[in-house]
Amino acid sequence: MSELLPALLIVLPIVGATLPLGVGLLRENVGWSIAALVLSVEAGLAAWLAAAVYGGEGAARIVHVLGGETFGRRGATENFVVGIELVADAFSGLMVLLVAGVALAVLAFARRGGPRGNAFYSGYLLLTGGLMGLFLTGDLFNLFVFLEIVGLTTYGLVASDRDAESAVAALKYLVIGTTGASLYLLGVGYLFLRTGALNMVDVSRSLAGEPEWIDGALYGDPLVLAAFGFIAVGLMTKAAIYPLHTWQPDAYAAAPDAVTVYISALVSTGGAYAFARVTWTVFTSEFFAVGQNARILELVIVLACLSVVLGSGLAAMQRRLKRLFAYSSVSQFGLIVIGVCVAVHPAGGTQATRLAVYGVVIHLLGHGLVKGGLFATVGALAHGTGARRVREYAGLAKRRPFLSGSLAVLGLAIVGVPPTIGFLGKWYLAVGALNTRLWPVIFVVFASTLLTLLYVARLLEKLYFDGPAEGAAPAAGPEPEGPGAPGGADGAVITDGAGSLSYGMIALAVSAAVLTVLLGFAGSALTDAAQPIAQAVIEAAPEVSAGG
Amino acid sequence: MVLGLVPPAVIVLTAALLVAVLPRDIGHAIGIAATLGVVAISWLVPGGAHVTVTLFGSADVGFRAVLYNVDVFSRLMGLIFGFIGATAVLYSWASDADSTQTAFALTYVGSSLGAVYAGDWLTLIFCWELMAVTSTLLVWHYGGAAVRAGFRYAVLHGIGGSLLLAAIIWYLTDPAVVAAADGNPLVFSSHVDGAVEGGMLAADSQVPAILAAVGIGVNVGFVGLHTWLPDTYPRPHVAASVFLCVYTTKTGVYGMYRAFPDGHLWIAYMGGAMAVFGAFTALLQSDMRRLLSYHIQSQVGYMVAGVGLAGASVGYGGAKYYYDALAAAGAFGHVFNHILYKGLLFMTVGVIIYRTGHETLDEIGGLGRKMPLTAITFAVAALSISGFPGFNGFVSKGMIIGAAEKKHLDVLWYLLLLGGVGTFLSFIKLGYFAFVEGSYDGTVKDANTGQSVALVSVAGLCVLFGLFPDLLFELLPFQGEYEYHTFTIPHLAEGVGLGLIALVAFAVLKGPLHHVGKVPDIDYAYNRAFFYGGRALIVGTTEAYAAVDRLAVRFVRTCYWVGNNPTVAVQRVDRRLLGPGRAADGGQASRLYLRAGVGTTVLILGAVLLLFLTLSLLL
């Protein structure tokens, strides 16, 4: 039964996506309820899958072949897979949990704050299905398909405000995102040309020269090298690494608040996950150990370091909160990409690999949680007080203590202050980098904390230590915390008439902050969960299977 | 036996508490009873009694500590510490010391007893440090000039204690000690299995031995580390000086023997140097208690020399009877005797100060006729310390000098003899100028009843142990392992001869010696070094801190400004890098337009891709 779960997780939201439109013909405003129902079931399935993966000794690798075993592997394992495999292992299992959790939680925000209408919820469910596919697929071409599903639905959701700014942002995202995906597809095409396979495991084995019809390893082949270049550039575009990030701040800033929460938590995460997956288990560390191949990796590291430094700098220069945190994501994904590269860099030993893998996995999860929480908090504050710019945050802590507290906790988590999950991720990344002795990288990783503090400290200072600016206070006297408080001052972008704060928003923000701190104490559980991944990367194995 | 379970330190510390709260007479009576009780316990409790506990954990992970350990060394120390404690309390009572001072003094006595009855290094160092604290309190209690001297005393003993502690820690982790210790590296008590023999030299490393020698060297007054002695001991109450002159230095000698049971040649020579330096510096003093303090250093020098000679490997070892046993027994015998006569000296000088109010020899004279008892007991003590035949100092000093001679360490032997001349000389000076020469105007009474009892009983013991040295030999360690005859012709000739040389010398030097003035010791140099060095350190640290603080504040302020005015900051950098004249809006632009459009981004994308492909395929 658990073999069916990966397919169910993808199919359920996609099929569910037709319901709001279909049932919407009969009744108004059923979208939220249907989405809530479908995503609750989805969350249950995700939990079941996680239990199946992590329930036994080590971590299981659950494989589902679409179309049944007819299309699966025949006889010897050397035979290629004919059809498409969906794979739930230690890596994708964690990510599926994140997707299901975030998708369900963001509904709490969208209930009052989000774009309304059944079409939005169709898109929302479709996006969830796409993300599930992105994390679960074991096939390179199928990964492209899901990247496109995710991309197209995101373009649509970003534009769901129907105002000019978001339309332009969505268009920019559409063009750049599709270009990136196309580059990825070109890379996959090259790999297919050389190996005749699309399944990740098969491609990886072919690159290593395991099948008898291939003469030795293909790691030095120009076609394979070019393939990695195309794939890296394509996926770095999706993950918004400097200087390929330009779509991201516009899209995040222009999208409706609920959509920003969702895509900031998951969409770039999908790109970074795909990059890690392909780098670690398809190309593997052995690819980078050959000849001058490590140089490509170093080019990626250079861009990622630039991303860390310039992303933080640009974030510090922003006035609008949503743009600020968008640039913060550029910086944080820079860190994650550094970790991905450090893990397979020939300069690092086993220990560097292990720690870097832990760092990447924990920071992927942690960043999704923290950044989603930050956007939820920022959105809730905007709904509650109309404040969307940094200077409007002056003295807000007195009026919105809970939301301000969440913002402070989540902000410190993104800085990497213990005991938060943000600290854990950065800690492992930093120690992993230390083990490689690549000194510029180490410097950047440690400096990232200070750079992050640059914009977080400014926010905290405004919130807690600055009185309301002259004339900026929308209303005199204390406002009651909670729904119904008058909001929407000048120029706040509010759609569908949703201008008020809901308990759902506060609950989302506060629970994200609480979870951030709680997970900060779960370091050993998280590293245990990531241990099989680290083992696979160390052994350059194409499959993440039960770890020892 | 119940007595074997009650450490003497506990009794005395309890008494100290009672002395502090009870009326003065009752309190002092309890103090005397407690210290006499210590004498009784020390006498009665057989060797081998010990109390063992496990500190900081259970039996397998904790430290085994021996809080109370009775062997022949600690027993000897306990006997004499108890006896002199009792007479000193009596003397305090008779000399108008207040209850608080006596209470402090008894805590000091108690902690010293704790140190000499300790069976492991942890207990020893704990009591050792406690002794430094309580003695400092005893000095401070007097107020006035004693406070500053007490502070210097505390600093020096703090350093010494820390060095000893460092030595113990190093010793504990030394592989040779750990291997030898069988789980009890702290313990030196021979009654406990797995105790380490050989003291600090059991370690592979030389470091613990050096640290311990210097650390204990502070307490025993190594030359150069001795300045606290003449600095501190003349300052407090006369009765406090009686306590002080006994416990710290003698516990130091005991600790030195525990740390170096097999002796060391360097320690022996340091003892010789102390004997000479102390005696001749004393000769130049006119403050009576300061003179006596230098003589503590000199006499402790003999003991340290004895401890240093206590190893078979130091000098010639001997054939049938072992001269190292003779040296160790002599050292402990001299500890015993010295406590008697030095306590007595401080008491007699204390009586003079108590009755006249004068501290220096320049202001008194001719007191022998007015204070006959004091003069007679002083004479006993002076002859004892000088090692004149028939008095107790002759016995034990002779043992140490004899050991040095038999071990063929001639330089050391001459040093010790020379120290004897200096001792004779300075006590002839002290006695002559205080009791014989000149006259004292005004009425002076002799010692009062309580003081007289204390003086006479101690003086009696000095003579008793001088005439019947076998009584002392009964108490000393290594009985039967050495052979020593006290009253032989060479010994007698040596004792009398040294005295004659000193008499002749004094006749020649009498004039100059009377008016020497204040002679600076090396503390003149290092008090200044400490003061100015300390001031430089504090000013330097403060200024460095301020400089770092200024830099940090400026940096934070800049960051803060940049954070609040990012666009202006970027434009300033821009102008500085690319020169002025580029700002189109008068340099006050409030907005920085950085966004890349769709076309630009796709161009960048292409460029990055090109970079990757170039790097991977062409280079």
Cα angle at B255 between B249 and B256, to 5 degrees?
A: 90
Q: Taking CB atoms and an 8 Å limit, are B608 and A303 in contact across chains?
A: yes
Q: Residue B402 corresponds to which tokens in the numbers above?
A: 């004899």
Show Cβ contacts of residue B538 under 8 Å, excluding neighbours closer than 6 positions: none
Q: What is the pLDDT of residue A347?
A: 85
What is the pLDDT confidence band of residue B57, given thresholds at 50, 70 and 90? low
Alpha-carbon gap, residue B72 to B94, rounded angstroms: 33
- Pick B566's closest partner by Cβ from A180, A232, A317: A317
Which one-letter DSSP state was computed for residue B391? S
- pLDDT tens per residue across span B244-290: 999 999 999 999 999 999 889 999 999 999 999 999 999 888 889 99
Beta bridge partners of A85: A65
Pair A72, A547: CB distance under 8 Å: no
Mean pLDDT for B130-135 is 94
Map residue B63 onto helix, strand or coil: strand
Return the number of other C-beta atoms located less than 10 Å from residue B271's C-beta.
Answer: 31
Alpha-carbon gap, residue B492 to B394, rounded angstroms: 9
Q: Is A489 exposed, middle or buried (0-12, 13-18, 19+ CB in 10 A)?
A: middle
CA distances from B303 to B247, B300, B331 (A): 14, 5, 4
What is the pLDDT confidence band of residue A175, given thresholds at 50, 70 and 90? very high
Map residue B616 onto helix, strand or coil: helix
Query: How distant is the Cα of A305 from the closest Cα of chain B, in angstroms?
Result: 15
* End-to-end CA separation in angstroms for chain B: 92
Which one-letter DSSP state was computed for residue A469? P
Which residue in chain A is spatially nearest to B569 when comparing CA positions?
A317
Q: What is the pLDDT of residue B331?
A: 94
Cα angle at B218 between B214 and B222, to 5 degrees?
A: 80
Alpha-carbon gap, residue A373 to B317, rounded angstroms: 84
Return the minimum-mean-pLDDT range out of A368-377, A394-403, A475-484, B48-57: A475-484
Q: Residue B580 corresponds to which tokens in the numbers above?
A: 């002025």
Tell me whether A303 touches chain B (CB under 8 Å). yes
Is the predicted pLDDT of residue A319 greater than 60, yes or no?
A: yes
User: Closest Cα to residue A336, out of A408, A274, A258, A405?
Assistant: A274
Q: Which amino acid is at A348?
A: G
Show Cβ contacts of residue A541 under 8 Å, excluding neighbours closer than 6 positions: A281, A284, A535
- Pick A243's closest partner by Cβ from B562, B592, B604: B604
What kind and span of H or E run contains A86? strand A85-88
- pLDDT tens per residue across span A458-483: 888 888 887 765 544 444 444 444 44
- Pick A229's closest partner by Cβ from B562, B563, B612: B612
Buried-state track B296-315, b at ≥16 Cβ within 10 A, e below 16: bbbbbbbbbbbbbbbbeebb
Which one-letter DSSP state was computed for residue A80? P
- Pick B567's closest partner by Cβ from A237, A293, A317: A317
What is the pLDDT confidence band of residue A449, given thresholds at 50, 70 and 90? confident
Q: Taking CB atoms and an 8 Å limit, are B611 and A299 in contact across chains?
A: yes
What does DSSP say about strands B63-69 and A85-88: parallel, antiparallel, or unpaired?
unpaired
User: Closest Cα to residue A201, out of A296, A292, A72, A291?
Assistant: A72
Q: Taking CB atoms and an 8 Å limit, are A317 and B570 in contact across chains?
A: yes
Q: Mean pLDDT score of chain A, rounded to an integer?
A: 86
Output phi, psi for B50, to 5 deg. -160, 155
Map residue B479 onto helix, strand or coil: coil
User: Closest Cα to residue B70, out of B111, B31, B113, B36?
Assistant: B113
Q: What percent of chain A has pLDDT over 70?
A: 92
Which residue in chain A is spatially nearest to B600 when comparing CA positions?
A246
Beta bridge partners of A389: A320
Q: What is the pLDDT of residue B9?
A: 92
User: Closest Cα to residue A146, out of A106, A184, A201, A172?
Assistant: A184
Which residue in chain B is spatially nearest to A243 when comparing CA positions?
B604
What kind and span of H or E run contains B514? helix B489-514
Q: Taking CB atoms and an 8 Å limit, are B615 and A295 in contact across chains?
A: yes
Which one-letter DSSP state was computed for residue B114? H
Pair B196, B185: CB distance under 8 Å: yes
Contacting A residues, span 231-260, partner chain B, CB-CB under 8 Å: 232-233, 236-237, 243-244, 246-247, 250
Length of chain B: 619
ipTM of the complex: 0.81
Q: Taking CB atoms and an 8 Å limit, are A183 and B609 in contact across chains?
A: yes
Per domain, the residue ranges of chain B are 1-252, 262-515, 525-580
Per domain, the residue ranges of chain A are 2-469+499-539
Q: Taking CB atoms and an 8 Å limit, are A299 and B570 in contact across chains?
A: no
* End-to-end CA separation in angstroms for chain A: 25
Q: What percent of chain A has pLDDT over 90?
A: 47
| Backbone CA torsion sign across B165, B167, B170, B175 | negative
Quote the distance between the C-alpha of residue A106 and its chain's center.
15
